[in-house]
Amino acid sequence: MHSSSPARRFREERFTVLAGLALAGFALVIVGLLRLQVVDHEKYVELAKENRVRLEVIRAPRGSIYDRHGELLADSAPSFSIVFRPSPIESTGSTVTARRADWTPRVASLARLDTSEVSERVAFANRSGQTAVLRRDAPFAVLAAVEETRSELPGLEVQVEPLRRYPHGALGAHLLGYAGEINQDELDDRTGRPVDVLSVAPGIVVAFSPEWNPATGLRGGRYVYVYSPAQHGIFYYAHARSIAVKPGDIVRAGQVIATVGRSGRNAAAPRSPTHLHVMFLAVGDDGYPRPRDIYRDLITFARK
């Protein structure tokens, strides 16, 4: 009896230790489940959504715009873009293929882009789950090359989307939308210099405002009035950056009279792009100037 008592106590001690370890293990599991289900619940819900929800940006279709004479001012044309669409989380084979060392150089060569630029956009797409546009409005030669090798380059696709088209260029862009990226620095995107305002017709400068104070609330900002005897009316040029003429000056058609700017109450607002406001006031028999639509005349002038 006495010899078996130490052995029994040893077994009991071992059992106690094992039971304690088992209870500690179960306690850790319970704590982990509480952390997953209660403490970090929102975090893992968002991670789960990212695995099965993909954000896609779909451009809304826009209709055509015509003037009162039925002439087309703006419409939409199909545009083909080269995009990278990240693989779903379960498509491990496609993901591995897209990460091969030769994938990025081949795509950059096909799309005629810089390798580092492609790498950055693909990395962003893989992080966010969003489709990355590699090249917009790609030419036919690039589209054909991509279509031929698309099966060898998983994730690379051709996406069709509408592209806004303005038959008359930037003419009337402040009414129709914008014909390019909105710019508020008053400088030409190509030259980096101010854009000249040219007189539409020969005439004499009858009034101007070379200075503008935002506190005055003057709508036209810096402006010039040029009377044209040939047109028997007055041309008004507003929102200028600077004025190059003064009252009494005789100007010829095409002469620089100002530079395009953003002066004036509305033009200076952050929502407004840099633009020129032109108006023609026809002088009637009673000597009173009245606005006249010269839109078609400007289109004809722009085509010359």
How is 74-97 classified by DSSP, letter by letter? EEEEEEEEEEE-PPPTT-HHHHHH
Residues 6+ apart with CB under 8 A from 172: 73, 295
> What CATH code would you report for 185-303?
2.70.70.10
Domain ranges of the chain: 73-165, 185-303
Query: Hey, what CATH topology would domain 73-165 get?
Result: Penicillin-binding protein 2a (Domain 2) (3.90.1310)
**b or e along 59-70 (b: 16 or more beta carbons within 10 Å of the residue's beta carbon)?**
eeeeeeeeeeee
**170 closest CA partner among 18, 254, 274, 264:** 274
**Residue-level pLDDT at 1:** 47
Cα 293 to chain centroid distance, Å, stands at: 33
Cα–Cα dist 239/50, whole Å: 48
Quick check: pTM over 0.85?
A: no
> What local confidence, expressed as pLDDT, does residue 99 receive?
59
Amino acid 57: pLDDT: 62
Cβ atoms 74, 64 nearer than 8 A:
yes
pLDDT in tens, the chain (304 residues): 455 577 777 777 788 888 888 888 888 888 888 887 777 777 777 766 656 666 666 666 778 888 888 888 888 888 888 888 886 654 444 455 555 778 888 888 888 888 888 888 888 777 767 788 888 788 888 888 888 887 888 888 888 877 777 787 666 655 665 544 445 566 776 666 788 899 989 999 999 988 877 766 667 889 999 999 988 999 999 988 889 999 999 999 989 999 988 888 777 766 667 788 899 999 988 888 899 888 777 776 666 5
